Amino acid sequence: MTEEQDVIRCHVVAENAEALREFLRETQPDVGCHAVARHTPAGVGLDLYLRQEQLDQARTARAAPLVDITEIENVTENWRSLKEEIGGGDRFAHRDAIPHGLGRKE
């Protein structure tokens, strides 16, 4: 099984909405469930998600000079660190145990 590349959450700011649209058309990023572009002092900004390879390609895209791309967080790495907190046993095994961590639906 090949390991997939990490997903990076980025914030992209363009001078105007049309420049942002052009960048999005060219790079085809994942913008999440409800993408909302917001006006910022520098222009129009939007959060989006890219795998590392996609991010590298986005930075060299034809429309890249129209936007400023800022890496916010490595979403995959954050998930891995949170996943380590999950125990392997049954957290409800003892009647007096206080539940902690993520549960499992059954």
Q: What is the pLDDT of residues 10-56, one digit of tens each?
A: 999 999 999 999 999 999 999 988 888 999 899 999 999 999 999 99
- Tell me the two tokens of residue 6: 């990490």
Helix, strand, coil in percent for the chain, rounding step 5: 30, 25, 45
Q: Which residues pair with 43 in a beta bridge?
A: 40
Residue 24 to residue 17: CA distance in whole angstroms = 10
Q: Are 70 and 11 in contact, with CB atoms under 8 Å apart? A: yes
Helix (H, G, I), strand (E, B) or coil at 51: strand
Q: What is the pLDDT of residues 91-103, one digit of tens each?
A: 666 777 676 667 6
In eight-state DSSP terms, residue 37 is: -
- Tell me the two tokens of residue 37: 């572009």
Residue 80 to residue 96: CA distance in whole angstroms = 29
Residue 1: per-residue pLDDT:
43
